[in-house]
Homo-oligomer: A and B are copies of this chain.
Amino acid sequence: MKNNFGTNISMTIFGESHGPCIGVTLDGLPAGFKLDLDKIDKDMEKRKAKGSISTQRHEEDKVNIVSGYFNGYTTGTSLTLLIKNTNTQSKDYSEIQYRLRPGHADFSAYEKYHGFQDYRGGGHFSGRLTAAIVAAGSICRQILESKDILIGSHIEQLYTLYDTPFSNEYPKLVNQIHLLNKKDFAVINDQVAHNMEQAILQAKDEQDSIGGILESAILNLPSGVGEPFFDSIESILSHLLFSIPAVKGVSFGAGFQLASKKGSEANDSFIMEDTIKTKTNNNGGINGGISNGMPILIHTCIKPTPSIYKTQETVDYKTKKAQKLNIKGRHDPCILHRARIVVDSMIAFGILDLLMSKNANNILEKETIYES
């Protein structure tokens, strides 16, 4: 359903880039969870535009919880949070109202909404809405962390630059995730981080933009989570990730590299350690749509931001005539460093919902284990 997603916990989002506020309703949260509001602020901070590598539209992004929260705890009823839009410059858009921006939803929105859409700043299609998702995701992640489930991401690839990959060794991976979650610019290798920032600045100088790939990991997710056939972990997470503007590819484990592997290379052999594990993790911790206890590994491809300052060719929707387009306004030359916490948030929401579905199913009085 359009702006609502989830089974046992659901997220409903609303708002437009230049409206009074954006927001989200989280429905189905357990009662009695103590929210760490500082953590929410810190997560919001990770998404904020800062410095010269991001847009100059700076928003305070103060999260205002207006329901479902009482005396410091979740109440168990629907929790709505609002975030004001304060720094809007709508006049930047009025003159290009009909000039379709390439790579943006302008044209398809006209076709769907017959011109009634709020076109200012991308309206409902703006990355601005992801601020609400980060706030909602922060709450979900706090609940998961209380159960030792850890989520983190890094910029695996930015344009033609590659970060140090996630470690195959679990304790090292845990450290990587902890370190990444403290960084604003989520890159494991600091030299690569520096180079990536330079690449962003160069793209900006060229009035252009660049994209890349985020790699994410979910640690300590118990085995047995995921609801095949249709609500496999892959299905739920990809559904959520592809809802993020600019995402054009999602894969799990070795992903598209599996196309050129043989079965004998791709299969993850089971080995006995403290529990049953797999020797390799080409399947990214998921078999048959269900977690197997290994780290869940996800790749999300984010296209270069379509708002570039270079002159572009386009068509005017009203006159149907070819036009030159010079985008004004304030835009990001790259969004990967800001999108990373959005990806983490979507993952957190999806995993929390799947965990709750697992709980739902646990209805029998005693745990029944089959003995043949």
CB distance from A216 to the nearest CB of B (A): 14
CB distance from A311 to the nearest CB of B (A): 10
* Complex partner residue of A103 from B3, B103, B263, B320, CB under 8 angstroms: B263
The closest CB in chain B to the CB of A107 belongs to B292
Within 8 A of B (CB), among A39-89: 66-68, 70-71, 73-80, 82
With a cutoff of 8 Å between Cβ atoms, the chain B residues found around residue A1 in the complex are 6-7, 10, 27-28, 227, 230-231
Contact yes or no, A270 B15, CB < 8 A: no
Within 8 A of B (CB), among A77-126: 77-80, 82, 97, 100, 102-109, 111-118, 123-125
Contact yes or no, A3 B360, CB < 8 A: no
User: Within the oligomer, what is the number of copies of this chain?
Assistant: 4
9 further interface pairs, Cβ-Cβ under 8 Å (given A14-B80, A16-B67, A22-B67): A3-B229, A12-B78, A13-B229, A16-B75, A115-B371, A146-B364, A258-B303, A263-B310, A270-B315
With a cutoff of 8 Å between Cβ atoms, the chain B residues found around residue A7 in the complex are 1, 7-8
Size category, A interface: 35 or more
Contact yes or no, B107 A276, CB < 8 A: yes
Contact yes or no, A76 B248, CB < 8 A: no
Q: In whole angstroms, how far apart are the Cα atoms of A3 and B307 in the complex?
A: 37
Q: In whole angstroms, how far apart are the Cα atoms of A224 and B31 in the complex?
A: 12
A153-173 interface code vs B (CB 8 A; 1 in, 0 out): 000010110000000000000
